Amino acid sequence: MTDLPAAGDRHFLPPYLLERIASAGSSRLSECARHTLLADGRFRARAGAVALPSGSARRGEPARYVYSAEQQQVLPGRLVRREGQVDSGDPAVDEAYQGLGATYRLFWEAFERHSIDGDGMALLATVHYGQDYENAFWDGRQMVFGDGDGELFNRFTVALDIIAHELSHGVIQHEAALAYVGQSGALNESLCDVFGSLAKQLELGQRVDEADWLIGEGLFTEQIDGRALRSMAKPGSAYDDPLLGRDPQPGHMEAFVVTEADNGGVHINSGIPNRAFHLVAMALGGHAWERAGRIWYDTLVDPRLLQDSDFVAFAGLTLANAEWRFGAASVEVEAVRQGWQGVGVLS
């Protein structure tokens, strides 16, 4: 039986990638990967230990706090930038600050949600966590970012969708609290990819046909043969590298991966609902956050979405929410139906 992470323990980089590096990388890279896996395991026992500072009482305005761990494994670290302060000149600090703001903007402007908990919760980020730490995670209270190893991985603040992905775990935690195992865990990961991509698209003002639909673009250095960690448009195509192997994500239920690793394949099988969302968004056109994203958000906050909901249950709720918001005979309902049929979840 696979050990399940604590409620708040959500790491961006899948454990199977770190395990490959630990077993086949150079001596330095193997040590970095082992060190990261060990640090990730420790946080299962202490997630959510940081007390939150004051949130935002003004709807539409975030309360951001960015700290530096200064290469130590401490949280939250030293406060280096807070809401309203100018750029610090430290790329990781300023990327984290901007990413927190862009994520807040998505949930506020697209879904009228006031921060992670809907009630102005403070947005915390700690950068420069540990030595050569190769991950980013949401610990139930705050975001934490490593600087990467500089050989395979750049700093984990480099991509806005990474930041938005991890913060979205917090939104899920306060809503459906989807169990982080099997299909419900894959839905948890997929929803974070959806909102991560939407935050990036909103920030760039992109329509669906202008977006790259990649998650983690820029995270890999030039030494890795890959564009990003995941592709929502073509799961399984994000990377194919001698050290990391090939992107294992399926894009259809016919290729669903049955495994005990990765909490039952939560980072792997999330490719299926990811592609379903992409199909819906492309069919509807325009800005993805306006219709497809609205349906997915409505489903996330729907009390009928249970902690152990599987793909079929989630798909059924997206259809119900599309009908509720846009009408039974709407193009939105048909697009949602065809999207899930396209990945084999609905027949």
- Give the active site residues: 166, 267
Q: At 110, phi and psi to the nearest 5?
A: -90, -35
Q: 234 with 282: CB under 8 angstroms? A: no
Alpha-carbon gap, residue 169 to 118, rounded angstroms: 14
Q: 225 with 237: CB under 8 angstroms? A: no
Cβ burial, residue 98 (10 Å; 0-12/13-18/19+): middle
> Is 43 strand, coil or helix?
helix
Cis bond upstream, residue 303 (ω within 30): no
Distance spanning both ends of the chain, measured CA to CA: 32
Query: Which string of DSSP letters, residue by residue, matches 249-294?
Result: --SSGGG----STHHHHTTTTTHHHHHHHHHHHHHH-S-TTTTHHH
Determine if residue 68 is left, alpha or beta; phi over 0 gives left, psi from -120 to 50 gives alpha, anything else beta.
Answer: beta
What percent helix, strand, coil does the chain show, rounded to 5? 40, 10, 50
> What does the block give as tokens for 265?
């394949």
Task: Give the helix ranges, DSSP H, for the chain.
Answer: 15-24, 27-46, 91-105, 111, 160-174, 182-204, 262-265, 271-284, 292-300, 311-326, 331-342
Q: Which residues contact 205 (CB under 8 A, 6 or more apart)?
A: none
Alpha-carbon gap, residue 258 to 41, rounded angstroms: 23
